[in-house]
Amino acid sequence: MKLGFMMRGVVVAAALLFAAAAGAARAEPNLGSWSVGAGSDGQITASLHASNKLITGGGALGYSPVLTLACRPDGEPRWSEWLQLNDSVSASRKITISVIVDGGGKTDESWSVGAHGRTLVRDGDDGIRRLASANRLTLSWRFGLLSGRGEADFELAGLSEAIGQIAASCKTDPP
């Protein structure tokens, strides 16, 4: 009886060890809150919701802007980033975005205004590169001449893994 109990303990221990080893072998990269996928136009994307909420024009509902990093497998510019809003900005072509990385100094950048004024776009790998080792990103902009400012805060945990996964899917080197 004692031998049977010991054998059962050995079998259980071996099963647990095997399960742990199998789990470690297929461990996914830690992407944090990033969502990686493919866009309808073939771009490989990683998206992240802001940690704060913006109040819509009517003031009744709040939403979190979405930051998306993208790579085009074929074409230029290969890398881009964009900010998706629910409220539109009044600018028609370009808008100035104030960028703060890890609580450092503010840098103003020119971003393009996309579809219906609700998408702000910046092409090029330098924007992605500035985030590669960052932990936090704050973007700030004006909705219009007489309108208030919008601000989106992003906790970038898992970013380097997300960029690596995008680059691998895009068959290119990370910026």
Express each pLDDT in 120-152 by its tens digit.
999 999 999 999 889 999 999 988 776 778 999
Q: Look at the chain and report how many structural domains it folds into.
A: 1
Domain that holds residue 115: 35-170
In a domain, residue 120? The reply is yes
Percent of the chain residues topping a pLDDT of 70: 81
Q: Look at 145 and 32; give whichever has higher pLDDT.
A: 32
In a domain, residue 45? The reply is yes
Contact assessment for residue 53 and residue 87, using Cβ atoms and an 8 Å cutoff: no
**What average pLDDT does the structure give for the chain?**
82
Q: Look at 74 and 57; give whichever has higher pLDDT.
A: 74
Q: Which two tokens stand for residue 1?
A: 């009886």
In a domain, residue 26? The reply is no
pLDDT the model gives residue 132:
86
Whole-prediction pTM: 0.79
Residue 120 Cα distances to 1, 74, 115, 163, angstroms? 72, 22, 9, 20
- Residue 151, domain CATH: 2.60.40.1880
In a domain, residue 114? The reply is yes
